[in-house]
Amino acid sequence: MANHNQRFMYCDDCAKVVRVDLPECVHFGAIKVSKHVESTTVVFRSSSGKISIPWDDKTPCPKGYVREEIRGARAVRRLEQELDAKDLQRHRNWQEKRQLLFRHDERREDLKQIISQGVTTKVDADGTRRTIHVSQFGRDLARQALRRIDSAPPERYDPGNYRES
């Protein structure tokens, strides 16, 4: 009858399962347990400041990058804060470009005029203004565009990693 308190272990070297209480494997006593081992995160950093984190820490370093090993929780947290700051700055730059491109307040007034009056004005390259009459289909498009501007997502940045500071 089998004892239910028996423990088994898989030996990678022998590629078989071994009973712990009666080791049949020569590698059983050779397992080394490391204490206080901290994790290591490998980072490739370019001279321009770009950071790449490989999936595997044995990945060779690409040309133009320097390999860094980050050890410990504090160092990893500093790296995360650095990457979050870069993401936030990139988001702010994108928001500025987006605001320059769309200028919602000016565009909103143009759309309201198209919806209510069916006309809009356009400034030509030589500086002259001309009036453009808009069809009912154009008014419907303006109504949809105004609705889309009003229901835009909030301008708040969310990095999505949900860590407590």
Q: Where are the domains of the chain?
A: 103-153
Question: Which CA distances in Å does 123 have to 98, 106, 117, 118, 139?
Answer: 22, 14, 18, 17, 20
For residues 107 and 149, the answer to whether their CB atoms sit within 8 Å is yes
In degrees and rounded to multiples of 5, residue 114 shows phi and psi of: -65, -45
Q: Is the pLDDT of residue 158 over 90?
A: no
Mention every residue, 6+ apart, whose C-beta is less than 8 A from residue 11. 17, 18, 25, 27, 28
Tokens of 139: 């008014």
Lowest mean pLDDT among 89-93, 139-143, 158-162: 158-162
Strands (E) in the chain, as ranges, are 8-11, 16-19, 40-46, 51-52, 65-71, 119-123, 129-133
Residues 113-137 have pLDDT tens digits of 888 888 888 888 888 888 888 889 9
Averaged pLDDT of the chain: 79
**Higher-scoring residue by pLDDT: 93, 149:** 93
* Residue 26 CA to its chain's centroid (Å): 47
Residues 44-81 have pLDDT tens digits of 999 998 899 998 888 899 999 999 999 888 898 999 99
Q: In whole angstroms, give the CA distance from residue 73 to residue 79.
A: 10
Q: In whole angstroms, give the CA distance from residue 155 to residue 44.
A: 32
Q: In whole angstroms, give the CA distance from residue 80 to residue 88.
A: 12
Tokens of 4: 């239910």
User: pTM score > 0.95 for this model?
Assistant: no
Residue 41 DSSP SS3: strand
